[in-house]
Homo-oligomer: A and B are copies of this chain.
Amino acid sequence: MKALVLERKHELSLRDIDLPLAVGPTDVRIRIDTVGVCGSDVHYYTHGRIGSFVVEAPMVLGHEAAGTVIETGRAVTSLKVGDRVCMEPGIPDLSSRASKLGLYNVDPSVVFWATPPIHGVLTPEVVHPAVFTFKLPDNVSFAEAAMVEPFPVGLQAAVRAIIQPGDTAVVTGAGPIGIMAALAALAGGCSRVIVSDLMPEKLAIAGRYPGVSTVNVRGQNLAEAVAAATDGWGADVVFEASGRRRPIMGSRRCCAPEAASC
């Protein structure tokens, strides 16, 4: 099967590669429609590694995917051929300690697409467990569905933040994860979100969503902007999505007293 293969650092090819395509009793086969490109795909291409995960053999990239079911295993009842679906890219051990605690997303023994040595899904087809494949509502496009993997990063943060209805949130960093966090914060009860970044292009995208206002920290002091927007009180929740030192250290200056008392 053809796939986008990272041969080694800095070298991609679109070529045939052997991939396991047997459909087990609880699996489905999916024709891929859309695959998002994650920062991790870029990292593997650019650096050949992320921490202890090292690309030591050719690997198919891509893990944010949506498509259409074209075959179902004999024990599958939740899906049928023709269903439009998206997939979780990680397959945990459901009997592990983490999974039994409801934390299968952080199961240390997870098998995760496009994480060496596991192949990703920049391919025409993939076989996946039905329990990690989800039928799309009609009003969700394949492109939106492919975002179902990065969106929970923001959603998980919003859930852990124990937002109260009407809270004001700050998100530092307007990359995809920052925007996901901002949207998740609004979905979770915040009445407004202030997103900061250095790049006007990113802020322009974030600012398109109702409820989001933006601060370019090149020209404006974030803590002052937050204070001005909140009668001096500060933000009830701060999400750090820039990965940079200054926002991490400075975020406390944006916080309302209860948050600052962490």
B258 in contact with A106 (CB, 8 Å)? yes
B165 in contact with A155 (CB, 8 Å)? yes
B94 in contact with A95 (CB, 8 Å)? yes
**Within the oligomer, what is the number of copies of this chain?**
4
Chain B contacts for A261, CB-based, 8 A: 103, 105-106, 156
B187 in contact with A163 (CB, 8 Å)? no
Q: How far is the CB of A107 from chain B (nearest CB, A)?
A: 7
* Interface 0/1 of A132-163, CB less than 8 Å to B: 00000000000000000000000110111011
**What number of A residues sit within 8 Å (CB to CB) of B?**
38
* Interface 0/1 of A226-262, CB less than 8 Å to B: 0000000100000000000000000000000110111
* Interface 0/1 of A59-97, CB less than 8 Å to B: 000000000000000000000000000000000001101
Q: In the bound complex, what is the Cα–Cα distance between A75 and B129 (angstroms)?
A: 22
Known: A105-B261, A189-B189. A165 touches B159 (CB 8 A): yes
Residue in B98, B131, B233 whose beta carbon sits within 8 Å of that of A257 in the complex: B98
Residue in B102, B155, B160, B165 whose beta carbon sits within 8 Å of that of A102 in the complex: B102
Q: How far is the CB of A217 from chain B (nearest CB, A)?
A: 23
Q: Is A46 an interface residue (CB 8 A)?
A: no
Q: In the bound complex, what is the Cα–Cα distance between A260 and B106 (angstroms)?
A: 8
B-binding residues in A (CB < 8 A): 26, 94-95, 97-108, 129, 131, 155-156, 158-160, 162-166, 184, 187-189, 191, 233, 257-258, 260-262
A-B pairs with lowest CB-CB distance, top 4: A102-B102, A106-B257, A94-B94, A165-B188
Contacts A/B (CB < 8 Å), 17 sampled: A94-B94, A95-B129, A100-B104, A100-B131, A101-B258, A102-B102, A102-B103, A105-B261, A106-B257, A106-B258, A108-B257, A156-B261, A162-B162, A164-B188, A165-B184, A166-B187, A189-B189
